[in-house]
């Protein structure tokens, strides 16, 4: 069984969840960003340097492998949407990210 989740499955989960709880859907989307960044870090050999749940660190580690626009988008989404929502719900994204990285 592959550990890859299809984009349409992720989209379906986020869209379905957004109907009942838009903030949780945004947090789920942020965690999916983190998962995808972990895959990129694994391919580039930087995964051991990364603490799950810290996309700004992933962006730093990936450096020029990401376009400037993608870097800005990831950082803006994470710091402007996901982190404030998670804090409002009392969630520790680093802990959740670490838990999810073992799945």
Please tell me the pTM assigned to this model. Answer: 0.71
Report the domain count for the chain: 1
Structural domain that includes position 71: 7-101
Residue 1 lies inside a defined structural domain of this protein: no
Residue 20 counted as domain residue: yes
2 located within any domain:
no
Give the distance from CA 25 to its chain's centroid: 12
How many Å is the Cα radius of gyration of the chain? 13
Distance CA 91, CA 71 (A): 24
What are 6-54's pLDDT values in tens digits? 668 878 888 888 888 888 888 888 888 888 999 999 999 999 998 777 8
Give dist(CA 10, CA 79) in Å, integer. Answer: 21
């Amino acid at each position: 069984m592959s550990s890859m989740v299809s984009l349409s499955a992720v989209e379906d989960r986020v869209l379905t969840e957004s109907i009942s709880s838009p903030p949780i859907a945004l947090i789920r989307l942020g965690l999916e960003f983190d998962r995808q960044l972990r895959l990129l870090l694994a391919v580039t050999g930087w995964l051991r340097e990364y603490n799950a749940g810290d996309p700004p660190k992933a962006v730093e580690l990936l450096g020029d492998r990401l376009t400037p626009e993608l870097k800005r988008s990831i950082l803006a989404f994470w710091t402007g949407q996901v982190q404030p929502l998670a804090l409002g719900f009392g969630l520790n994204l680093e802990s959740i990210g670490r838990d999810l990285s073992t799945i």
